Each structure stands twice: as structure tokens, then as C-alpha cells.
């Protein structure tokens, strides 16, 4: 960059950052507000945080969200990797194009439709289970949430893994086979470690998408299995409470620490190399 | 171990009694409509360094990949040490390959890359360490054992790839353009290292290359490939001095080719007339073909002598004007234009240092060569 920033660029930058971060900063500031009314500043206090720790509903929701997100992200990572692998490696099977479309459709499908479809399917499944196997209806809950989240997250993982595999040098696998590794070992010793960053990226994407999701969760969750966004949403309808602000602040803190440490580790690795 | 296949003479292919180590019989590989390898039959003997030489797309790499088991032949057979390879998957073949891209595993250190093949065989850990260490010494990469491939230079990667392929002591080592990615200096150095290693370990090598110089230096024999077929097999000297076709002559080194018509063909000489050169050409061996037949005569540039005065021998003599001179240090290259307009390339060693009296632009010169220097080509 040429010496320093011009005034114009500097102003643009400041305005941009204000635009991006002002709401979050306001939110953080008000998490330390003593007043029960979110919009009126009274005085500095940690009341909201104390209340948060004692709010079982929110803590339960956090726990549900984390469970759903990590399980569905893991399932999606496995399924998505298989999809991505098949799509890049088996380029000549019948119906590949259809399969390709079907895998990526959830990316563009309106969430309301996916959610509704899921709901209808779960109701039908419940009916089937009851009529054929005589199993008591399970209803909506943790399991249906995980299935629904896995479904849409798989598409994202598949796309990420596919792009990682597209740049993969096939001669590495051939070399491994040539050196005596059976196909199974080639996959686990060579292919998997090399595409691992893609799978991890896909997992993280699936994890955040799941944590974040409201619409599909709303359709597929049931009593006792409310995710955090659902609880926040329902609480906001009754008026915003400072506890939500406190919770949001903690989440932001965790995310920032995560990103910053990931960056530091990445940079140190780069230096070492 | 039996003695079979062991090189009894330095040139086992001349000995009718010696048994080939690798036998390729009527091998064909088609990719859809395209025939990459077309009916190739080939015998390679133990301890040979056999080069497959040809331009890109001539099928040489496909042939190599079929030996490694990475491509399945459309038809034909491959035998290695008398075992039919048809149903043997790559991971069970007694071959190892050095890939053109080196294909080093990016997530493993040099050491682990080399140990990979041994681990697949379930060899004891202490023995693996020992063999890895030995091979690292051989390729002089000991100090880099703990590095990852991306921390190495091109030449170092090439050594690691070679070590990884060698460490399993395969019956047959396959090398795909082994020196392709190296600069000229490193290339020459590694060529000799490769030859040393080959001699030391006695492994049979098959090398694919498009570089005729590389093939000439390295090989015991060369198979020149074109359009999926082997057009000529021979020692580097045979291929260079007695090319079978114009394609081979052109591909290996540079050559002057004169189209001609046979005037006299006797058992001990041929006389032809070339309209292109407007001269009679005389070659001191018979070719057994009818007078009037169309043939070509190939003469290497270094076999031709250019002089200002007419040589005593009047056969194989052309006249022309020097149009281009390139001073290469050890030799000079002259492009001489004949009266017919044909350009003839001549190279002459620079025996004396002084530049006086040296042939130069627009000199009128006589070109001549010995009657043993020309080669008659039929196609």
C-alpha cells in the first residue's frame, strides 16, 4: 500500500465498520444494563448474566442446540463426503446429472418448503411406524431435528468436499496403490487425510448452519427439544430480555476467540513451514 | 535363485538362448474409439534400462501404466518373470513406478513417504527404518528426512520419488519422464546418478521419455514409439546410426534427408539419383530393391564435411552457399543452400581456435560424405 490511507478511504472504512458492527456493539453494551427494559440504560451490572445462568430454559436450549448441531454436522460430514466422492470419482454412471441436481437442491430450496416437507414426512413416518410395527408415535423432538438438519447440511458438505476433490491429484492414489496399498487403505491413508481440510470446513459450515437455523427447526422440533434460536425467537415475541443480550455477548465472545485462535495457529504453522 | 533371466552377456537381446524378463505380447489399449497402444510386442531382459521414446500422445505412458497395472489392456498379455499380469492388481505387482508428477504424499514427511510401501508389506518396524535409512543415503537425502514434500526443491523431490519407488526393491522399476521437471544441469547430473543406482541395484528399468538425449545417455536399448506402435527397437547407437524410417531419423538427433530414385542396386552398393540435391548418391551397401524405386537417404549433419575446395572423391558431393552460421562453442552449425534450393545442415567441430579462415556467410562450399555415412530409408 502507498504511504498511509487517504482520508476518503479511511472514512469509507470507518463507516463500513460502523454499519457492520454498531448493532452488535449496542447489543453488548446493553447486556450490562441493570434495567429490565432493554432499550433504556439504567446502570452497569452483571444482573443479566446472573439471571442467564439461572435460566434453565435457555441453558437447556443451548444444550439442545449444541447436541443437534454437532450430531447433524458429523452425520452430514460423513454423508456429504460420500456424495462428494461419488460425484467427482464416478463420472459415468446413469443418472449422475439427476443425482447432482438432487444433492445440491437443498442449497436453493426455500427453507419454508424444506421445513414443511420434513414435517409432513415425519407425520407420515410416525403413522407408518404405528400402523405397521405398532410402535408408539415418537412425535417431533431431538431425533427429527437432527435428521432435518443433517438433510440440508449434507448438501453443503458435499459441495465443499467436491471442490476439494476436484483439485485432487489422482496420481497420489495411483502411487499408493502401486506401493502396495489396497483400495480401502488408499482411501483412508491418502485420500481422506488430503481432503480432510475440506471435510472439516464442511463440518464447521454444517455446525454453524444448524446452530443458526430457525425455520426448519420450527417445523421439525417438538416439546422438550427447542433449540436456542427457537427459544430466543419465542422470548423476543414477549419482549426482549437482557438475558438474551447477555447470551448473545457470550456467543460472540466464544466465536471471536475461536476465530482468532484459529488464525494464530494457522499463521504459526505457516511460519514453521 | 535360478540363473534364468540373469544377464549372461552385456547384450542379452542378441543371445537367442537368453530368456526375456518382461514379455509384452500384442498389447492393445483403446480409450473409446482412440487406440493409444496398438499391438505392441516387446521383450525386455533382466538388468536392462529400456527407454520408450516418442512424442506426446504416442502411447508410451499408457504402455508404462499397463505394466504398472494402472490401466487394463484391451487385449494382449504382459508377463513379468513368467507370471501373467492379467489378473494381478497394481498393489500386488512386483513393479514400482516413479510418476511424472512425482506424486509424493503431501501430508507425509520424506521418511514416511519412503516407508509407505514397506509398511503395506507388513515389514517389521526396525527393518523398515533400516531400509529407509539406506535408501536415503543412496539418494543423498538423509538431511531432509523430516521435511515435507513442499519444503523440497524439484531435484530433491525427484530423488525422494525415486527412493520411494526403489525401496521396495521391485523386479521392475517404471519411470515416467523421470527428469522432465529438472533444469538442464541437474538433469545431466541425475542421469548419471540414475545409471549408477541402476548398476548398483541391478533392477530392471523401463523409462518413458520424450527427450532423445535422455534416452541416448541412459538406455541399454530404446524403443521408439509413434502412434501407439513401436517403430524401432535398438541400442542408442543402432537407433542413431541406422534409423529404420524417416520418422525415427528425424526424432533422434537432426538429419538431412534426400528423396531419391534407385539407379543401380548391387549386393555391395547402391547408386541413386536425388532430384532434390541434383546429385548422384552412393552408399556402400546393397538394399535389395528394384531400380526406379523411391527411397530416401539420411545423412547426419556431423557426417558431412564442408570445404571451400573440391574434395578428391566425386561421389556424394554437393555444392552450395552458406546461408546461416551458428557458433556453439565446441562446434559450428552451418545451413547450406544447394543450387536446387534445398537446405542442408552441417555441423563441424571447431578444432582450431582462431577464427581466420573459418567458413562464414555466403561462402561457396563443397559438401561431401563417406559412402558409409548415408542410410537408405524405405519409408
**How far does B95 lie from chain A, in Å, by closest CA?**
7
Could you read off the pLDDT of B5-56 as tens digits, one per residue?
A: 344 457 888 887 788 999 999 999 999 899 999 999 999 998 889 999 998 8
Provide the pLDDT for residue A70: 93
Binding-face residues of A in 130-159 toward B, CB within 8 A: none
- Domain containing residue A184: 49-272
pLDDT band, residue A270 (cuts 50/70/90): low
Could you read off the pLDDT of B217-230 as tens digits, one per residue?
A: 888 999 999 999 99
Binding-face residues of A in 33-92 toward B, CB within 8 A: none
Closest CA to A251 of A28, A29, A48, A44: A28
> Considering the domain boundaries, does residue A30 fall inside one?
no
**How far does B61 lie from chain A, in Å, by closest CA?**
13
Measure Cα distances from B242 to A168, B184, B209 in Å. Answer: 45, 27, 20
> Considering the domain boundaries, does residue B163 fall inside one?
no
Residue of B nearest to A196 (CA): B107
Mean pLDDT for B244-271 is 87
Measure Cα distances from B350 to B329, B353, B354, B364 in Å. Answer: 7, 7, 9, 19
- Helix axis angle for A192-212 and A142-166, nearest 10°, is 140
> Considering the domain boundaries, does residue A128 fall inside one?
yes
Q: Which residues of B touch A169 (CB under 8 A)?
A: 101, 103
Provide the pLDDT for residue A38: 67
Q: Are residues B239 and B268 in the same domain?
A: no
Bigger pLDDT: B45 vs A93: B45
Number of domains in chain A: 1
Q: Pick from A175, A190, A273: which is nearest to B151 by CB?
A: A273
**How far does A186 lie from chain B, in Å, by closest CA?**
10
**How far does A182 lie from chain B, in Å, by closest CA?**
6
Q: Pick from A171, A178, A193: which is nearest to B107 by CB?
A: A193
Place of cell 494457522: A266
For residue A216, what is the domain's CATH number? 1.10.3720.10
The answer to whether B269 touches B285, Cβ cutoff 8 Å, is yes
> Considering the domain boundaries, does residue B213 fall inside one?
yes
> What's the mean pLDDT when you consider all of chain B?
88
> Considering the domain boundaries, does residue B130 fall inside one?
no
Q: Are residues B178 and B297 in the same domain?
A: no
What number of C-beta contacts closer than 8 Å exist between A and B?
62
Last residue of a domain, one of B229, B249, B269: B249
Could you read off the pLDDT of A81-90 as tens digits, one per residue?
A: 998 888 888 8
Least confident of A58-72, B110-124, B351-365: B351-365
> Considering the domain boundaries, does residue B206 fall inside one?
yes
Q: Are residues B287 and B315 in the same domain?
A: yes
**How far does B161 lie from chain A, in Å, by closest CA?**
10
Residue B117 contacts A where some CB pair is shorter than 8 Å: yes
Least confident of A236-245, B121-130, B212-221: A236-245
> Considering the domain boundaries, does residue B242 fall inside one?
yes
Closest CA to B44 of B271, B176, B230: B230
Q: Which residues of A touch B72 (CB under 8 A)?
A: none
Provide the pLDDT for residue B301: 92
> Which cell numbers in the block locate residue B281?
548418391
Residue of B nearest to A182 (CA): B91
With 80 as the cut, is the pLDDT of residue A135 above it? no
Provide the pLDDT for residue B6: 40
Residue B32 contacts A where some CB pair is shorter than 8 Å: no
Closest CA to A148 of A230, A82, A87: A230
**How far does A172 lie from chain B, in Å, by closest CA?**
5
Q: Are residues B199 and B322 in the same domain?
A: no
CB contact under 8 A, A176 and B68: no
> Considering the domain boundaries, does residue A9 fall inside one?
no
Q: Are residues B198 and B267 in the same domain?
A: no
Provide the pLDDT for residue B7: 44
**CB-count exposure of residue A121 (10 Å: 0-12, 13-18, 19+):** middle
Q: Are residues B69 and B188 in the same domain?
A: yes
Mean pLDDT for B157-183 is 87
> Considering the domain boundaries, does residue B123 fall inside one?
no
Q: Are residues B174 and B56 in the same domain?
A: yes
Closest CA to B71 of B40, B102, B45: B40
Number of domains in chain B: 2
Question: Residue B142 and residue B122: Cα distance in Å, rounded?
Answer: 24
Provide the pLDDT for residue A4: 65
Closest CA to A186 of B31, B89, B174: B89
Q: A92, A172, A179, A196: which to substitute to probe chain B, counting the most B Cβ within 10 Å?
A: A179
Q: Are residues B215 and B273 in the same domain?
A: no
> Considering the domain boundaries, does residue A15 fall inside one?
no
Q: Are residues B293 and B355 in the same domain?
A: yes
Q: Are residues B207 and B76 in the same domain?
A: yes
Helix/strand/coil for B22: strand
Residue of A nearest to B104 (CA): A172
> Considering the domain boundaries, does residue A22 fall inside one?
no
Residue A169 backbone dihedrals phi, psi, to 5 degrees: -80, 110
CB contact under 8 A, B101 and A273: no
Q: What are the start-end ranges of the E strands in chain B?
A: 22-31, 34-44, 49-53, 75-80, 83-84, 95-98, 172-176, 204-209, 221-226, 229-234, 256-266, 269-274, 279-283, 294-299, 305-307, 317-327, 331-338, 343-349, 364-368, 375-377
Residue B150 contacts A where some CB pair is shorter than 8 Å: yes
**How far does B278 lie from chain A, in Å, by closest CA?**
54
Q: Are residues B228 and B258 in the same domain?
A: no
> Considering the domain boundaries, does residue B287 fall inside one?
yes
Measure Cα distances from B269 to B158, B266, B284 in Å. Answer: 50, 5, 4
**CB-count exposure of residue B266 (10 Å: 0-12, 13-18, 19+):** exposed
CB contact under 8 A, A273 and B168: no
Last residue of a domain, one of B199, B228, B249: B249
Q: Are residues B180 and B288 in the same domain?
A: no
CB contact under 8 A, B168 and A179: yes
Mean pLDDT for A246-273 is 78
Length of chain A: 273
- In chain B, % of residues over pLDDT 90: 49
Q: Pick from A171, A178, A194: which is nearest to B101 by CB?
A: A171
Residue B314 contacts A where some CB pair is shorter than 8 Å: no
Could you read off the pLDDT of A60-77 as tens digits, one per residue?
A: 888 889 999 999 999 999
Binding-face residues of B in 56-75 toward A, CB within 8 A: 68-70
For residue B290, what is the domain's CATH number? 2.40.50.140
For residue B42, what is the domain's CATH number? 3.40.50.300
Q: Which residues of B touch A194 (CB under 8 A)?
A: 105-107
- Most confident option among A219-223, A230-234, A235-239, B71-75: B71-75
Provide the pLDDT for residue B346: 93
Question: Residue A149 and residue A82: Cα distance in Å, rounded?
Answer: 17
Provide the pLDDT for residue A2: 53
- Helix axis angle for B154-166 and B184-201, nearest 10°, is 20
The answer to whether B175 touches B131, Cβ cutoff 8 Å, is no
Could you read off the pLDDT of B319-350 as tens digits, one per residue?
A: 999 999 998 888 899 999 998 999 999 999 88
**How far does A195 lie from chain B, in Å, by closest CA?**
11
Last residue of a domain, one of B194, B224, B249: B249
- Domain containing residue B211: 12-94+170-249
Least confident of A25-29, B180-184, B275-279, B323-327: B180-184
Least confident of A2-6, A77-81, B97-101, B126-130: A2-6
Place of cell 530404446: B222
Residue A182 contacts B where some CB pair is shorter than 8 Å: yes
CB contact under 8 A, B96 and A193: no
With 50 as the cut, is the pLDDT of residue A267 above it? yes
Provide the pLDDT for residue B233: 94
Residue of B nearest to A190 (CA): B105
CB contact under 8 A, A174 and B91: no
**How far does A273 lie from chain B, in Å, by closest CA?**
7
> Which cell numbers in the block locate residue A64?
439442545
> Which cell numbers in the block locate residue B375?
542410410
Contacts of A219 (CB under 8 A, 6+ apart): A115, A116, A118, A119, A148
Q: Which residues of B touch A178 (CB under 8 A)?
A: 68-70, 90-91, 93, 95-97
Contacts of B81 (CB under 8 A, 6+ apart): B5, B21, B22, B94, B171
Q: A175, A186, A197: which to substitute to probe chain B, counting the most B Cβ within 10 Å?
A: A175
CB contact under 8 A, B90 and A177: yes
Q: A92, A172, A174, A180: which to substitute to probe chain B, counting the most B Cβ within 10 Å?
A: A180
> Which cell numbers in the block locate residue A67?
447436541
> Considering the domain boundaries, does residue B310 fall inside one?
yes
Amino acid at each position: 500500500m502507498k504511504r498511509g490511507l487517504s482520508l476518503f478511504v479511511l472514512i469509507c472504512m470507518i463507516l463500513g465498520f460502523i454499519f457492520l458492527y454498531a448493532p452488535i456493539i449496542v447489543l453488548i453494551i446493553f447486556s450490562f444494563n441493570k434495567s429490565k427494559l432493554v432499550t433504556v440504560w439504567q446502570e452497569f451490572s452483571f444482573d443479566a448474566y446472573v439471571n442467564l445462568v439461572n435460566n434453565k430454559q435457555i441453558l437447556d436450549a443451548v444444550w439442545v442446540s449444541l447436541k443437534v448441531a454437532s450430531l447433524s454436522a458429523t452425520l452430514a460430514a460423513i454423508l456429504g463426503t460420500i456424495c462428494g466422492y461419488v460425484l467427482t470419482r464416478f463420472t459415468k454412471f446413469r443418472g449422475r446429472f439427476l443425482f447432482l441436481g438432487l444433492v445440491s437442491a437443498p442449497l436453493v430450496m426455500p427453507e419454508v418448503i424444506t421445513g414443511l416437507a420434513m414435517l409432513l414426512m415425519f407425520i407420515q413416518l410416525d403413522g407408518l411406524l404405528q400402523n405397521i410395527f405398532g410402535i408408539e408415535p415418537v412425535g417431533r423432538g431431538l431425533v427429527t431435528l437432527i435428521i432435518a438438519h443433517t438433510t440440508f447440511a449434507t448438501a453443503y458438505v458435499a459441495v465443499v468436499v467436491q471442490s476439494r476433490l476436484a483439485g485432487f491429484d489422482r496420481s497420489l492414489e495411483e502411487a499408493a496403490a502401486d506401493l502396495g496399498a489396497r483400495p480401502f487403505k488408499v482411501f483412508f491413508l491418502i485420500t481422506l487425510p488430503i481432503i480432510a481440510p475440506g471435510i472439516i470446513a464442511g463440518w464447521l459450515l454444517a455446525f454453524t448452519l444448524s446452530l443458526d437455523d430457525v425455520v426448519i427447526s420450527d417445523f421439525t422440533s417438538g416439546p422438550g427439544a427447542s433449540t436456542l434460536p427457537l427459544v430466543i425467537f419465542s422470548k423476543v415475541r414477549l419482549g426482549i430480555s437482557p438475558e438474551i443480550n447477555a447470551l448473545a455477548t457470550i456467543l460472540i465472545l466464544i466465536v471471536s476467540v475461536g476465530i482468532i485462535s484459529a488464525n494464530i495457529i494457522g499463521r504459526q504453522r505457516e511460519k514453521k513451514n | 535363485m535360478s540363473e534364468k533371466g540373469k544377464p549372461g552377456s552385456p547384450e542379452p537381446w542378441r543371445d537367442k538362448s537368453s530368456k526375456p524378463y518382461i514379455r509384452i505380447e500384442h498389447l492393445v489399449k483403446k480409450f473409446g474409439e482412440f487406440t493409444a497402444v496398438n499391438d505392441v510386442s516387446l521383450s525386455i531382459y533382466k538388468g536392462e534400462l529400456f527407454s520408450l521414446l516418442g512424442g506426446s500422445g504416442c502411447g508410451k505412458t499408457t504402455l508404462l501404466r499397463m505394466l504398472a497395472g494402472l490401466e487394463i489392456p484391451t487385449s494382449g498379455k504382459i508377463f513379468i518373470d513368467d507370471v501373467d499380469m492379467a489378473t494381478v492388481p497394481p498393489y500386488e505387482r512386483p513393479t514400482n513406478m516413479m510418476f511424472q508428477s512425482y506424486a509424493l504424499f503431501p501430508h507425509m514427511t520424506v521418511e514416511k513417504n519412503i516407508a509407505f510401501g514397506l509398511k503395506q508389506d507388513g515389514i517389521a518396524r526396525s527393518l523398515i527404518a533400516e531400509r529407509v535409512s539406506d535408501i536415503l543415503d543412496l539418494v543423498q537425502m538423509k538431511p531432509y528426512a523430516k521435511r515435507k514434500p513442499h519444503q523440497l526443491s524439484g531435484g530433491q523431490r525427484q530423488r525422494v520419488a525415486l527412493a520411494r519407488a526403489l525401496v521396495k526393491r521391485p523386479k521392475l522399476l517404471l519411470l515416467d519422464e523421470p527428469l522432465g521437471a529438472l533444469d538442464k544441469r541437474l538433469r545431466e547430473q541425475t542421469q548419471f546418478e540414475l545409471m549408477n543406482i541402476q548398476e548398483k541395484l541391478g533392477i530392471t528399468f523401463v523409462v518413458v521419455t520424450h527427450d532423445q538425449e535422455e534416452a541416448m545417455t541412459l538406455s541399454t536399448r530404446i524403443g521408439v514409439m509413434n502412434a501407439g506402435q513401436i517403430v524401432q527397437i535398438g541400442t542408442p547407437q543402432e537407433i542413431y546410426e541406422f534409423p529404420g524410417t524417416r520418422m525415427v531419423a528425424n526424432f533422434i538427433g537432426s538429419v538431412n534427408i534426400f528423396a531419391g530414385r534407385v539407379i543401380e542396386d548391387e549386393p555391395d552398393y547402391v547408386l541413386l539419383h536425388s532430384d532434390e540435391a541434383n546429385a548422384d548418391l552412393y552408399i556402400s551397401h546393397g538394399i535389395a530393391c528394384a531400380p526406379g524405386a523411391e527411397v530416401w537417404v539420411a545423412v547426419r549433419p556431423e557426417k558431412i564435411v564442408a570445404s571451400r575446395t573440391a574434395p578428391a572423391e566425386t561421389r556424394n558431393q554437393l555444392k552450395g552457399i552458406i546461408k546461416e552460421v551458428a557458433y556453439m562453442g565446441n562446434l559450428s552449425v552451418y545451413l547450406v543452400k544447394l543450387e536446387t534450393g534445398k537446405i542442408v545442415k552441417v555441423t563441424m567441430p571447431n578444432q582450431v581456435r582462431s577464427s581466420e579462415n573459418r567458413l562464414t556467410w555466403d561462402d561457396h562450399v563443397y559438401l561431401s560424405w563417406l559412402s558409409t555415412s548415408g542410410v537408405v530409408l524405405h519409408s
